[in-house]
Structure 1
Amino acid sequence: MRILVVGPSWVGDMVMAQSLFMSLKKSFPDCLIHVLAPVWSLPLLERMPEVSKAIVMPLNHGEFCLMTRIKVGRQCRSEGYDQAIVLPNSWKSALIPFFANIPQRTGYRGECRWVLLNDIRRLDKNAITMTVQRFVALGLPENAPQPPYYQQPSLPNNKTGQEKVIQKFGLTLTDKVLVLCPGAEYGPSKRWPADYFAKVAQAKIQQGWQVWLMGSEKDKESAVAINSLTNQQCRDFIGQTSLTEAVDLMSLANTIVANDSGLMHLAAALDKTVIAIYGSTPPEFAPPLCNKAQTVTLNLPCSPCRQRICPLYPVGHPEHTQCLTGITPERILELIGN
C-alpha cells in the first residue's frame, strides 16, 4: 500500500494526524505513508517514524492557484499511490489527489466534493466527537465500529537537538523548568490573560523554578507583559525559535501551561505534564492527548461559543471572556504542585 495523506494546516491538527499514521501502520504494517503538508511541518513529520516521506505543499493556507494544484497532482502520479486520505474538509484540498489519478480518494462529505472524492464518508458528529477520532476513522473501513480506537501521538526526544538548543541559548538547566505558552492562533477568546500567566510565573520563580515563555512572533505582546510583571525573570523564547527548537526546548521542561493551541498538542506528544486552559472551545473536541495532561474549563452556560472574540461583552466589561478570567492563577498553581 502506498498512501498519500493530505495533511492539515495547523500545528495541533498535524500532531493529532500522527494517530492516523499509527492506525494505518497497524492495519498495513508494510505501507508507505507520504504526507502532503506545509513546509513548516516538515521537521515535525521527520520525527514521526510512521511517515516515509513529506511532500511540500507549495501553496499557503487558503490559497487556490488551480494550475499549481494540477502540476503537483501530475507530479504525484509517478508515486503510484493506492489511496489518498484528505484530512481538510475544503474542496480545493481534494484537487491534488484527483489530478494525481489516485484510484481511492477518501474524505468526508463537504463543499461538493463528490466529483473529486470517490470514497466519501458521512461524518456522524454525535458518534465521532473528537478531531483525532475523525482523522483515524478515515483510515479505517467505512463500516468499522465508531468511535475508533486511537493511539496517542508520540514524539521521541532528540538528544542531539536538546544539546543544540542548550548550547545555542546558553542554558543552565535546573531540576524544575516551567514553560508558559500564552498564545493561541485562533483568537483572544482562547488566550488566558497575560497577568494571570505572570502570577503563575512569579510564584514558581519564588520556589526556584526556571520559567520559559514560548510562542510565535504574534505572542510578543503577551511575553512583554508577563516579563514586565515578573521583573524580567522569565526566559523569553517567543519568536526566537524554529519549530524544531521549540520542540527540543519543551522536551527539557517538567511542566507546560498552555492555552488550547498547537504548542499544547506538541507538549502532550512529548508526554509532558500539561495543564491546558480552555475558554471558548470545548476540551472534549481536541484535548491534549497524553495521560499526564489536565484540562481546565469553567463550563459556563455561554461556553463553548467557539467564537474568536467574546460575543457577549465588549473589551473592558467585567464579564468579558469570563470563561477565561474566571480560571484563577491559584487554581493553575494548585494543579502544577511543587
Structure 2
Amino acid sequence: MTRSLVIAPQWIGDAVMTEPLLRRLHAHGERLTVGAVPWVAPVYRAMPQVDEVIEFPFQHGGLQWAARRRLGRELHGRFDAAYVLPNSLKSALLPFLSGIPRRVGYLGEARVGLLTHRLKNPKNRPPMVAFYSALSGDREGLEHDRPALHLPPEAIEAALAAQGLQRGGYVVFAPGAEFGPSKRWPAEHYAQVAAAWPQPVLLLGSGKDSPVCEEIAQAAPNARNLAGRTSLAEAFALIAGARAMASNDSGLMHVAAAFGLPQVALFGSSSPHHTPPLNDRATIVWLKEDPQYQPPLDCAPCFARECPLGHHRCLRDLAPARVSALLQAASNA
C-alpha cells in the first residue's frame, strides 16, 4: 500500500474542495495522511478516507525554515508519495525535506526542483474541485466530483444538546467571509431576514466575524452570535444538524454544501462559476446574471477584497425579501 502525505490548503473552503481528490487516492489503494494547519485540520477529520491528520506548527507568511526542516526530519522515511495542493514554494518544502521519493503538484513559484511530478497550471483554470482532483492522475469524470463530509451522529447530537436545539429546528447564517468585505452581504440585510424568521438563527464564523454577527444579533432577538465561540468541529456539527443555511461565498458555504444542507449562497465580487457550492440543494444568487437587474454589473466579478468602485452594488442591491423567500423555499424542500 502506498503511504501518501497530502499537504493541505490553508483555507477552509479550499480544504473542502480537496475531498474528491482524497476519495480518488483512497480508491487507488493509498493510505492517506493529511498535513494541515490547525484551523483547517477539522475538515479532514470529517473525511473517512483520511487515516491520519498531522497539525502543522506553521503560520501564514514566511518560509519558517527551521520548523519545516525539523518536521521533515521527523517524517523522513514515513511516506512513499506526497501531493502538494497549494501552489506556493513553501508548501513543497516539507515533502522535499522529508525525502519523499514521489512529489506531485502544480508548477508555480519556481519550485520545479522540489517536485518530481509536475502538472502545468491550466490557462483557463477549471473549477477548484476538478483542479485538485487532476492531481490524482485520473482523467475521467473530474467535472462531476462533489465534496462530501461526514460526522458521527453522536457528534451532531452533542453539539445540538449543548445549544438546547433539536435537529432541523433552526437555521444557520454565515455572514462573514475571510477574504474581505466585498464578499459580505450587508449585516443589516441579514438582520432583517433573521428578525422575521420563525425559528432560532445561529450566526457562525470565526472570531473575526463576531462583530458583524453581534450587529445582527442585536437587531434580531432570535439570533445567537456563536462566531468565535465554538470550535470548527462544533460549527460543522451545528451546520449538519440545521434545517437550512444562508451564507456569503465562504468556507462555511462549502461545508454546508458538503453536508448536503439546503442552502442559499450569495455571490457578489466572486464567481459561482469558479467556486460554486456543489450541492443539488443549493440556490445560488448572483445579480451579475440576473437579467432584470439594471444597470448591469459590468464590474463583476472583480475578485477584489474591497469594492474598487465604492458602491458594493453586487451585494447591497440584493434584497432581503428575496433572500428570505429563497431560504424559506429551501428549508421546506
What's the TM-score once normalised by structure 1's chain length? 0.90
2:294 equivalent in structure 1 = none
1:43 equivalent in structure 2 = 42
- 1:273/1:292 contact within 8 Å kept: yes
Q: Helix, strand or coil: the match of 1:88?
A: coil
Matched to 1:20, the amino acid is: L
Aligned counterparts, 1:139-154, within 5 A: 139-140=136-137, 144=139, 148-154=142-148
Instruction: List runs of 5+ in structure 2 lacking aligned partners.
Output: 289-296
Give 1:44 deviation, angstroms: 2.6
Q: Helix, strand or coil: the match of 1:39?
A: coil
Matched to 2:152, the amino acid is: N
Could you give the per-residue CA deviations for residues 78-120 of structure 1, whole angstroms, max 9, x where no partner exists? Answer: 21x2221111111111111111121221111111111111211
Matched to 1:266, the amino acid is: V
Give 1:175 deviation, angstroms: 5.2
Q: Helix, strand or coil: the match of 1:78?
A: coil
1:74 aligns with 2:73: yes
Aligned with 2:261 (options 258, 261, 272) = 272
2:275 equivalent in structure 1 = 286
Give 1:233 deviation, angstroms: 2.1
Give 1:174 deviation, angstroms: 7.4
- CA distance in 2 between partners of 1:99 and 1:276 (Å): 41
Taking structure 1 as reference, are residues 9 and 174 closer, same or farther at Cα in structure 2, changes over 3 Å only?
closer
- CA distance in 2 between partners of 1:44 and 1:162 (Å): 15
- 1:201/1:211 contact within 8 Å kept: yes
Which stretch shifts more, 92-101 or 153-162? 153-162
- CA distance in 1 between partners of 2:61 and 2:184 (Å): 24
- CA distance in 1 between partners of 2:6 and 2:282 (Å): 28
Matched to 1:261, the amino acid is: S
- 2:46/2:151 contact within 8 Å kept: no
- CA distance in 2 between partners of 1:104 and 1:150 (Å): 27
2:293 equivalent in structure 1 = none
1:199 equivalent in structure 2 = 192
1:334 aligns with 2:325: yes
2:177 equivalent in structure 1 = 184
- 2:160/2:241 contact within 8 Å kept: no
- CA distance in 1 between partners of 2:208 and 2:324 (Å): 26
Residue identity (%): 39
Q: Helix, strand or coil: the match of 1:256?
A: strand
Taking structure 1 as reference, are residues 200 and 159 closer, same or farther at Cα in structure 2, changes over 3 Å only?
same
- CA distance in 1 between partners of 2:180 and 2:255 (Å): 19
- 1:108/1:122 contact within 8 Å kept: yes
1:107 equivalent in structure 2 = 105
Which stretch shifts more, 50-59 or 186-195? 50-59
Aligned with 1:236 (options 222, 225, 231) = 225
- CA distance in 1 between partners of 2:70 and 2:64 (Å): 10
Matched to 1:177, the amino acid is: Y
- CA distance in 2 between partners of 1:43 and 1:185 (Å): 17
Q: Helix, strand or coil: the match of 1:105?
A: strand
Matched to 1:132, the amino acid is: V
Matched to 2:10, the amino acid is: S
Give 1:209 deviation, angstroms: 1.9
1:135 aligns with 2:136: no
Q: Helix, strand or coil: the match of 2:83?
A: strand
- CA distance in 1 between partners of 2:97 and 2:213 (Å): 45
Q: Helix, strand or coil: the match of 1:224?
A: helix
Q: Helix, strand or coil: the match of 1:36?
A: strand
Q: Helix, strand or coil: the match of 1:138?
A: helix
Matched to 2:98, the amino acid is: A
RMSD: 1.7
- 1:35/1:51 contact within 8 Å kept: yes
Give 1:150 deviation, angstroms: 4.5
- 1:181/1:214 contact within 8 Å kept: yes
- CA distance in 1 between partners of 2:89 and 2:110 (Å): 7
What's the TM-score once normalised by structure 2's chain length? 0.91
- CA distance in 2 between partners of 1:136 and 1:175 (Å): 33
- CA distance in 2 between partners of 1:150 and 1:45 (Å): 21
Aligned length: 320
Give 1:176 deviation, angstroms: 4.1
Q: Helix, strand or coil: the match of 2:39?
A: helix
Aligned with 1:89 (options 79, 87, 90) = 87
Instruction: List runs of 5+ in structure 1 lacking aligned partners.
Output: 314-319
Which stretch shifts more, 174-183 or 114-123? 174-183
Aligned counterparts, 1:314-329, within 5 A: 320-329=311-320
Taking structure 1 as reference, are residues 69 and 172 closer, same or farther at Cα in structure 2, changes over 3 Å only?
closer
Q: Helix, strand or coil: the match of 2:191?
A: helix
- CA distance in 1 between partners of 2:322 and 2:161 (Å): 35
- CA distance in 1 between partners of 2:129 and 2:303 (Å): 18
1:253 aligns with 2:242: yes
Could you give the per-residue CA deviations for residues 44-86 of structure 1, whole angstroms, max 9, x where no partner exists? Answer: 322211111112211112231112212212222221x222111
2:59 equivalent in structure 1 = 60
- 2:134/2:142 contact within 8 Å kept: yes
- CA distance in 2 between partners of 1:134 and 1:35 (Å): 18
